[in-house]
Structure 1
């Protein structure tokens, strides 16, 4: 992305956060529990706030050149105050998601990174797919399960490579299955256009 496009996307994200917080205050307990996920990797299943305070971000962006990208992030704050991007995935190019996207629409993931959420820190392993990955690194898809007036639900499924070592010293361990679902109440959702950039997304804290 160009610098102008990156700055525009950043401003849109900030606007999303402000609008989402305002809506949450207005709705109160009515949307409690509608910022939700379930992730299963190597038969280890994680639910919201099980190992820290979780924050979910979903976005889909199309630039002036028509190129698009979709991303999903799980930000986790541990009891010691440390904050981790526990899961991050991207699909580019993907086609813009909006309130008219049909149920069953599928996006191919081309970047994925996740830590073992049950550990107090980064731990020994990570689950990772680099940009322009080959099937040997895993194959993951994002599927729209629901896009209704009530909520949006996405399913992430396939395989991902388990890796060990540091950022500059990754080594493959084994391909493992991954199955996940993410759900956002519609009140968290926004669509915006600025400087030729179309953006749709949701931003929310998972409730106790």
Structure 2
């Protein structure tokens, strides 16, 4: 069984702020587009703040060519949350990272549908191949905002009769948008790295 709570050695630079969004275009996301997401896993779509205030985080590494984003979805119990992580390689995130597609080396998510957190169903892979394949596309890295998409397939696991079963590959599509004002960067050990944290608001 893969470990969705896998620890990553990332150099994390972040800033916490809030923003307002609207839901109106074909992606369900429009307006100031300062801090929002849309996730569809196994045919189920989630937008921000279904149960409480959600967060988006971008991190990168000064030691390796990897970067990631994380969505944490608050539950009705403030101590609980669901988490989605996607880690890409072949690039460090900063304001100069070219727009384009980067392979995902790790993906993990718990269910975003229930109002209580739980380990199952569990979605993801730790290595490309049998357990799925996905990419992160950096759609926009402008002075106004950062926009990333995930697309691919991931393994679904669930408890069946008291045992954990692999139920097969399911599609995943995810998108995040973060306003540039939430982003910070710095040079660490001679490497330009950046990151962001924002709290989603409707």
Alignment TM-score, normalising by the size of structure 2: 0.79
Does 1:128 pair with 2:120? Answer: no
Superposed, which structure 2 residues align to 1:11-160 within 5 Å? 12-13=12-13, 16-17=14-15, 20-21=16-17, 33-63=33-63, 67-91=64-88, 93-103=89-99, 105-119=100-114, 120-122=116-118, 124-130=120-126, 133-160=127-154
Q: Compare the two structures and name the one with the higher helix fraction.
A: 1
Q: Which runs of 5+ in 1 are unaligned?
A: 1-5
Structure 1 pair 178–99 and aligned structure 2 pair: CA distance change class (3 A): same
Q: Distance in 1 between matches of 2:146 and 2:66?
A: 18
Q: 1:205 Cα shift?
A: 0.2
What is the RMSD computed on CA atoms of the aligned residues?
Answer: 2.5
CA contact (8 A) 2:136 2:150 kept: yes
Aligned residues: 182
Report the counterpart of residue 203 of structure 1 in structure 2.
Answer: 197
Corresponding residue SS for 1:187: helix
C-alpha deviation, 1:79, in angstroms: 1.6
Q: Compute the displacement of 1:137 (Å).
A: 0.6
* CA shift for structure 1 position 170: 4.8
Distance 1:122 1:190 in 2: 33
Q: CA deviation at 1:195?
A: 3.7
Change (3 A) 1:29 1:77: closer
Give the match for residue 3 of structure 1: none
Q: Distance in 1 between matches of 2:75 and 2:144?
A: 30
Structure 1 residues 46 and 173: alpha-carbon distance in aligned structure 2, compared to 1, 3 A threshold: same
